[in-house]
Amino acid sequence: MTTDIGDAELRRCAELVGHDFADRSLLKLALTHSSYSAEETDEPSNERLEFLGDAVLGWVLADEMYRRHPDFHEGLLTDLRKSVVNAATLAEVARRLGIGPFIRLGRGESRARGGEKVSILANAFEAILGAIYLDAGVTVVKAHVLRLLSSVIDAAVPGLATLDPKTQLQELVAARGFTPPQYDVRDEGPDHAKTFFATVLVDGRTRGEGTGRSKKAAEQEAASRAVASLRNERA
């Protein structure tokens, strides 16, 4: 994990991402976490690029899923997109590319190995997609998204139509010989407006996190992300 990044590191990161940036400052911005910006007040963070990249990613995948699965109704398409566009899946793609060591972090976040955190990796990946979109346009960024995530889409489809996420996870875990999933749930806020936060562990490892207005909703989201993570790992 780095607190800054030079031209050589930017070139190396661009090679790993697979895009030759005409404006390499966009990649540098995409790799700048808010903890770094808090210490270097004259530099913005990657949050705006992350917002843009999230929108680009959602559109590209919605278009691809619509075309690839003409027999899927709206609910199934939504579930499929959620199983792919989530922090666990995107962080895994970022790890596979090797983005983590290039993320610009504040000193505290760097000491805490922030470049290995799911949320930071996923956000940086989305920010990089936003940077590619600004640098080269729709056609190029779409090609990158499909190159990196087509296999994840395919891996997410089996069982999607019939099983809720917790059941999917239970069956997937059993098939692979793991111990049953364990859910840890906490809540915050007043009684009339609680938000629940769930973490699911498989074989002692955190595999998914979720939030919701009910314990069940939070657990289902956590399970969905765990399913995507495990299928992506196998893919």
Residues labelled catalytic: 54, 126
* Spatial distance between the Cα atoms of 170 and 166, rounded to a whole number of angstroms: 6
DSSP structural state of residue 179: P
Q: Collapse the DSSP code of 203 into the 3-class scheme (helix H, G, I; strand E, B; otherwise coil) and give the result.
A: coil
* Spatial distance between the Cα atoms of 159 and 61, rounded to a whole number of angstroms: 19
> Is residue 79 classed exposed, middle or buried when 0-12, 13-18 and 19+ CB atoms within 10 A define those classes?
middle
The answer to whether the CB of 194 falls within 8 A of the CB of 213 is yes
